[in-house]
Structure 1
Amino acid sequence: MTDVRRKTTVLLLDRIGYSFYQDRDGRRFLPEDRCSVRLVTSLDKVDEATGKELESVVAVDVYDNRALAEAVHHQAGFKGHRADRLVAITERLLLRAAELREELGLPGQTVREALLFRDKVRMKEHLSAHGIRVPEFAPFSEAAALELLSRTGAVVAKPRLGSGARDIFVLREPADIASFAAGHASRLDEFEVEEFIDGELFHVDSVVQDSKVVAAVAARYIDETTSYTRLRPCRDVALGPGPQLDALLEFNERVLAAHPGFTGVTHHEMFVRDGDIVFCEIGARAGGGGVIAGFLSRTGVNLDEAVIQAQVEGTVPLPAAPAGHLTGFTVIYAGAGVLQRPLTPPDEPWVLECQVLARPGDRLERPENCNDAVAIVSVRGDSEDEVIRRLDQVGRHMVPVLSAAD
């Protein structure tokens, strides 16, 4: 008997453009033979919406909650046929996607589950209850910030639902707290305050099936994630074998064990101070910068594809054990002005990927978050030192040349 399987009807919420939902060879993450796609995409990305698998396309401002809800409800019942899954991969859309799933009665990550990966207060409350070392923290109030400052010497205020390393404030004096509170009085309930951890920042990127890590790669931020505020590159290098790698992977497994049933991809950041590991934050998404290129190079799995497969099928691709070579990336920023020269990487076989995000003639504004880059270059090497030397070579080769905007 012929096995005729009905296609899965996938309602996809998109901000980055539909051309990103495929690999370098053009293989679709939502293939025509298995999926029928109903797309809700950004107004400025609608021209990318092409493919035989697309059943219907609606373009809206995806950060307008009402417009997004109307578009999703339309697509969910398009032509009287109910969608099977609602999918989103962009961090700022994950919580909204969970809310819409619950409204529509669709399976997938719930609001409660999503908040544990989005709300920095909820995630630390949850993990602290499971014995994970987290910074001391509280929803922001002047009283809570002052009390915490009196015991820790410095505190950090950051948005509870923040992304892109934006609106992060280190407060070292009572006057700093008063100034911050006055400047953000209309939205203080959006912030948390936590102890400042003076340590190195690392991240572990994982593919996870039912809260078990299938594959993971750890890396160290060479530069602060807020380097964009100084127009300095942000470099990142994978860790080679050793006790530190083992300790970070073990900590990562403990954190993920506190999320029973979770299947998908995580980007998990943690501090290391005097040999102790302290949780920073975790997202149910692929990491930014060159994380995807590096993970693909070492395991053969595209993290964005793994996110989509997890949300559509409830499973993740089976990665290979991480390869012996290491990878790294540099994120390049520019100030305000008109870009004069093309940004091209060194012509070297060790360049894995170059994402050129600005071209000559583009009018650039000063970056507002860590995603506002002009280029992201990923490289490989046989050691951490070799990767760092190659990243620095890229930095010397790709210096943005600007002229003043008219």
Structure 2
Amino acid sequence: MRHILVFAKTPYAKTPYDQWLAGSGIVPVIVTAREYAQGYSHLPHVHAFDAYDTNQLVEKTALRLAREFAVEAVFARAEADVVRAAQLRELLGLPGQHTASALAFRDKVVMKDHLAGGPVDVPAYRRLDSAYTALDFVAEHGYPVVIKPVSESGSLGAAIIRDEAELDAYLASPWRGTSEIEVFVPGQMYHVDGLVAGGEVVFVHPFRYLNDCLSFRNNDWVANLPLTREDPLYDRLVKAARAVLAELPTPPQTAFHAEFWITPDDRLVFCEIASRTGGGMISAMVRHAFGIDLDKEWLYAECGLPSTLGTSEYRPAGALCIPPRNGVLEQLPTATAEQPGCVREVMLTGSVGQEFHGGVKSGLFLAGYVVDGDSEEDVAANLEHVAGWFSDNSRWRPAESCGGTA
């Protein structure tokens, strides 16, 4: 029996590793977060941890298991696991992404150091290690600027600083550790998602955001919609993503999620790239639109299994993520009969009676939907319709009125 180690920071319904590997002779050894453990409990080797992202017993246990089962590969699809998985592969001499590559895809400054002066426009940036650096950068480049952690995902911790008062407020808040400061880039944000297998880009497609990555801060929804091949931005975005992958130490097998701006004066500017599948409902949308399960195909590539990529017919589809509001959730629109007919997949991450404190990051949501339609314009309208339907059919109450937390 062959084994692989899987850092599984996802619910089983999203990543049924045993089902994907059925018939391959490969058994997954699962290391997961406590909240996802129940879903994997039918598997023979499951180890769950509290405080998963920062608990270093995860690394200790992973190393022990990797040696005990003589694993052939290590698979990790979550941002929190990119570096720890790379370090483990390197320590054990296993194939796949190693530490230098992982840092180039996770640390935004290392990433831009690789890309600066290359074929894709990169905004002015600097590693922010003290208040002096921020003051010096603003003196050189002016406002607005963006300050964000070097290694978070989903726009977590990002702050747009528009003037000296906002900078003062930022500097007065508790120090957040090493961050990056860069000039603010105006414009529409797009993302390009794809898969590298055998050192080749075997799937790539650009998408646009409806609303934007920071919509969650206003407890507003964000959606993703594929561009048509006829869209004038299609080729530009694909070319930019390929150029970025060529400049970085891209591993031979990886999914990727890259983000770019198109500015009001039509410049294409790099934002960031991750060596993983996109968050939210992006993977589910790709599966419905293109017939490709990026996570499964990536797993197969890491395990040396033959690809099941086909030439499925494209079907217009979009992804919708709705963050929670502030308060206690009293009602969810769960009745299937009421659901708009354009909905193809639903993922709910909360339950009635639970207390929430608004949106946390762009990839986390209360309700996720994959929506289809006859055309991209039809899908865009349906995404707005489903967001409105969800709002009309869910109910909240203020947390303080319930006499405690749920």
**Normalised by the size of structure 1, how large is the TM-score?**
0.88
Number of the residue aligned with 1:56: 45
| In 2, Cα distance between equivalents of 1:233 and 1:290 | 12
Is the deviation greater in 273-282 or in 341-350?
341-350
Q: Which residue of the other structure, out of 120, 123, 127, is the alignment partner of 2:115?
A: 127
Is the 1:237–1:328 Cα contact (8 Å) retained in structure 2? yes
Question: What is the CA-CA distance between 1:228 and the residue it aligns to?
Answer: 1.4
Is the deviation greater in 392-401 or in 303-312?
303-312
Number of the residue aligned with 1:403: 397
Is the 1:60–1:71 Cα contact (8 Å) retained in structure 2? no
Distance change in 2, residues 1:248/1:386 (3 Å): same
Unaligned runs of 5+ in 1: 1-6
| In 1, Cα distance between equivalents of 2:169 and 2:330 | 39
> What SS does the aligned partner of 1:360 have?
coil
Number of the residue aligned with 2:31: 40
Is the 1:235–1:331 Cα contact (8 Å) retained in structure 2? yes
Alignment RMSD (CA, Å): 2.3
Question: What is the CA-CA distance between 1:55 and the residue it aligns to?
Answer: 4.1
Number of the residue aligned with 2:19: 28
| In 2, Cα distance between equivalents of 1:286 and 1:160 | 19
Is the 2:210–2:223 Cα contact (8 Å) retained in structure 1? yes
Question: What is the CA-CA distance between 1:111 and the residue it aligns to?
Answer: 0.6
> What SS does the aligned partner of 1:124 have?
helix
| In 1, Cα distance between equivalents of 2:179 and 2:305 | 33
Distance change in 2, residues 1:210/1:197 (3 Å): farther
Number of the residue aligned with 2:363: 371
**Normalised by the size of structure 2, how large is the TM-score?**
0.88
> What SS does the aligned partner of 1:77 have?
helix
| In 1, Cα distance between equivalents of 2:33 and 2:15 | 14
Q: Which residue of the other structure, out of 199, 216, 220, is the alignment partner of 1:232?
A: 220
Number of the residue aligned with 1:4: none
Distance change in 2, residues 1:303/1:142 (3 Å): same
Q: Mapping of 1:189-204 within 5 angstroms? A: 190-204=178-192
Q: Which residue of the other structure, out of 165, 169, 172, is the alignment partner of 1:182?
A: 172
> Given the alignment of the two structures, is residue 250 of structure 1 paired with residue 230 of structure 2, yes or no?
no
Distance change in 2, residues 1:211/1:106 (3 Å): closer
Question: What is the CA-CA distance between 1:225 and the residue it aligns to?
Answer: 1.1
Number of the residue aligned with 2:210: 222
Question: What is the CA-CA distance between 1:50 and the residue it aligns to?
Answer: 4.0
Is the 1:209–1:315 Cα contact (8 Å) retained in structure 2? no
Number of the residue aligned with 1:333: 323
Question: What is the CA-CA distance between 1:76 and the residue it aligns to?
Answer: 1.6
Distance change in 2, residues 1:182/1:315 (3 Å): farther
Is the 2:30–2:47 Cα contact (8 Å) retained in structure 1? yes
Number of the residue aligned with 2:254: 264
Is the deviation greater in 358-367 or in 283-292?
358-367
Letter in 1 for 2:348: V
Number of the residue aligned with 1:285: 276
Deviations 1:228-252 (A, max 9, x none): 1111111222212221112111111
Letter in 1 for 2:35: D
Deviations 1:28-58 (A, max 9, x none): 123254212221122232222245xx44222
Is the deviation greater in 327-336 or in 313-322?
313-322
Is the 1:263–1:315 Cα contact (8 Å) retained in structure 2? no
> What SS does the aligned partner of 1:135 have?
coil
Letter in 1 for 2:303: V
Is the 1:205–1:267 Cα contact (8 Å) retained in structure 2? yes
| In 2, Cα distance between equivalents of 1:144 and 1:322 | 51
| In 1, Cα distance between equivalents of 2:102 and 2:197 | 16
Identical columns (%) = 28
Question: What is the CA-CA distance between 1:348 and the residue it aligns to?
Answer: 4.1
Question: What is the CA-CA distance between 1:74 and the residue it aligns to?
Answer: 2.4
Distance change in 2, residues 1:247/1:28 (3 Å): same
Letter in 1 for 2:156: R
| In 2, Cα distance between equivalents of 1:201 and 1:19 | 30
Distance change in 2, residues 1:321/1:253 (3 Å): farther
Number of the residue aligned with 1:15: 9
Deviations 1:85-105 (A, max 9, x none): 121111111111112222333
